[in-house]
Amino acid sequence: MTQLVLASTSPFRKMLLERLHIAFECSSPHVDESQLENETPMEMVQRLAQLKAEAVAIDYNNALIIGGDQVAVCDGTILGKPGDHDTAVRQLKMVSGKKISFLTALCLLQTRDGKRQLDVIPYHVHFRTLTDDMIEHYLEKEPAYNCAGSFKSEEFGIALCDKLEGDDPTALIGLPLIRLTRMLEDYGIAVI
């Protein structure tokens, strides 16, 4: 039987994959996630999702490896994970009143034959106009320092939004389950 492996240590991706009620394990991909010179955000997430799957694949003979990556893009600028309060404040001021695109790449790699499927699922968030007090109150309640764009839609961060747009809301959280379900079915794993 083919083993299913999530190439991630993200608690968000793990929690999402658990929704599908299929057995899997997690393995940490050790890759440099830096953007390459002249690389677009779309190219970057595709490359990193594939690179993460490949980094984990070397440890498995007969497995399906799920690699994923996500970036938030505002006015052409990639917003990474802020890591601290000051950076989160700057990011939230930058996205105030704007539409942000979250690009989530998904790679499913079959280690037995090296075949892969790769896709990018976009999701768009329209932010409210945020005051300094709103930003501070939000970060006090939910310090989203480990989330791209300083924002967690699945929790209190939803209060920062005017509108969400996209085909798969799980793509916004980091693992597009609608697309993944179809990819798994292509390899003979029926989720439902």
**What confidence tens digit (pLDDT) does each residue in 149-181 have?**
898 888 899 999 999 999 999 999 899 999 999
Domain assignment of residue 81, yes or no: yes
Annotated catalytic residue within 69, 119, 162, 186? 69
Residue 154 has what pLDDT? Answer: 84
Domain assignment of residue 123, yes or no: yes
pTM of the complete model beyond 0.85: yes
Tell me the pLDDT band of 14, cut-offs 50, 70 and 90: very high
The residue segments making up the domain with residue 8 are 3-186
| pLDDT exceeds 80 at position 7 | yes
Joined tokens for residue 115: 């075949």
Dihedrals φ, ψ of 36, to 5°?
-80, 155
Element (H, E) at 9: none
Residue 190 has what pLDDT? Answer: 87
| pLDDT exceeds 70 at position 29 | yes
Residue 106 has what pLDDT? Answer: 97
Give the chain's domain count. Answer: 1
* % of residues, the chain, pLDDT over 70: 99
Domain assignment of residue 179, yes or no: yes
Cα torsion through 21, 166, 118, 74, rounded to 10: -120
Domain assignment of residue 191, yes or no: no
| pLDDT exceeds 80 at position 2 | no
Domain assignment of residue 105, yes or no: yes
Average pLDDT of span 91-115 = 95
69 in catalytic set: yes
**105-155: per-residue pLDDT in tens?**
999 999 999 999 999 999 999 999 999 999 999 999 999 998 888 988 888
160: DSSP letter: G
Residue 21 has what pLDDT? Answer: 95
For the chain, state the CA radius of gyration.
Answer: 17
Domain assignment of residue 127, yes or no: yes
Average pLDDT of span 73-98 = 94
Element (H, E) at 179: helix 177-186
Tell me the pLDDT band of 25, cut-offs 50, 70 and 90: very high
| pLDDT exceeds 80 at position 86 | yes
**CATH assignment at residue 45:** 3.90.950.10
